[in-house]
Amino acid sequence: MTAQAKAPLVNIVSEKPLADDLARILLTGTEIASRVADLGSRISHDYQGKDLVLVGVLKGVIFFLSDLSREISIPHSFDLVGAQSYKSGVKSSGQVSITKDIDLELQGRDVLLVEDIYDTGGTIHLVHDMIRMYRPNSLEVCTLLYKKCKRTKTLPIKYVGFEIEDVFVVGYGLDYKEKYRSLKCIGVLHPEVYQ
């Protein structure tokens, strides 16, 4: 390969660790793991004898869903639904569309909708309405993060990992422009990163 062909790579691949872009850490990987274990044991207790299906909302939920599933000791299935939330910068617009439907049969089953973060609530409301049409036996919501902010609509959330202040966060699945999802902690970016 010529030096010229290599040049653009040098510009886009940074050697800097991802975590260096964080201004502060809100939740460490250890704190998250411990809370996910608590949620898993509560869910295992509450859904004894039920036909539990976890439905995760792509793609921010993938690490939470896979860790939560492995902390649930009772038999269960999981599926994924795709939802695209339109954001300008770091603000949710509240406008959402479904990009991937459910594959599993949900009728008569006990569905637990799993989300990474409840911000405006637009995503969860839309997915909740969609799942209701499949006539599950029960439908509850579990969110890892719940932002304390003003909302026009609210939905009862049965399981909340952490209530957080109304700031934009990244890590453990959550992204800024598709980056930072792989961080084990959850934190707030340096303001320069947005500029």
Would you please indicate which residues are annotated as catalytic (active-site) residues? 119
- Rg for the chain (alpha carbons), in Å? 18
Applying CB under 5 A, among 67, 110, 116, 119 the residue interacting with Mg ion is 116
Element (H, E) at 142: strand 138-147
CB 173 within 8 Å of CB 194: no
Token pair listed for 157 = 């959330």
Which residue, 47 or 146, is less far from ligand IMP as judged by CB? Answer: 146
Element (H, E) at 148: none
Applying CB under 6 A, among 27, 72, 106, 122 the residue interacting with ligand IMP is 122
Instruction: Pick one of ligand IMP, Mg ion, none as the site partner of residue 143 (Cβ within 5 to 8 A by kind).
Output: none
| Site membership for ligand IMP, residue 116 (CB under 6 A) | yes
Of the candidates 120, 136, 118, 122, the residue with the CA atom closest to the CA atom of residue 55: 136
Shortest distance, position 170 Cβ to Mg ion, whole Å: 12
| Site membership for ligand IMP, residue 119 (CB under 6 A) | yes
Of the candidate spans 21-29, 40-48, 69-77, 111-119, the one that interacts with ligand IMP by CB under 6 A turns out to be: 111-119
| Site membership for Mg ion, residue 56 (CB under 5 A) | no
The half-sphere exposure of 168 on its side-chain side, counting CA atoms within 13 A, is 16
CB 65 within 8 Å of CB 78: yes
Contacts of 41 (CB under 8 A, 6+ apart): 71, 73
Applying CB under 6 A, among 78, 134, 162, 168 the residue interacting with ligand IMP is 168
Which residue, 76 or 128, is less far from ligand IMP as judged by CB? Answer: 128
Q: Which residues bind Mg ion (CB under 5 A)?
A: 60, 116
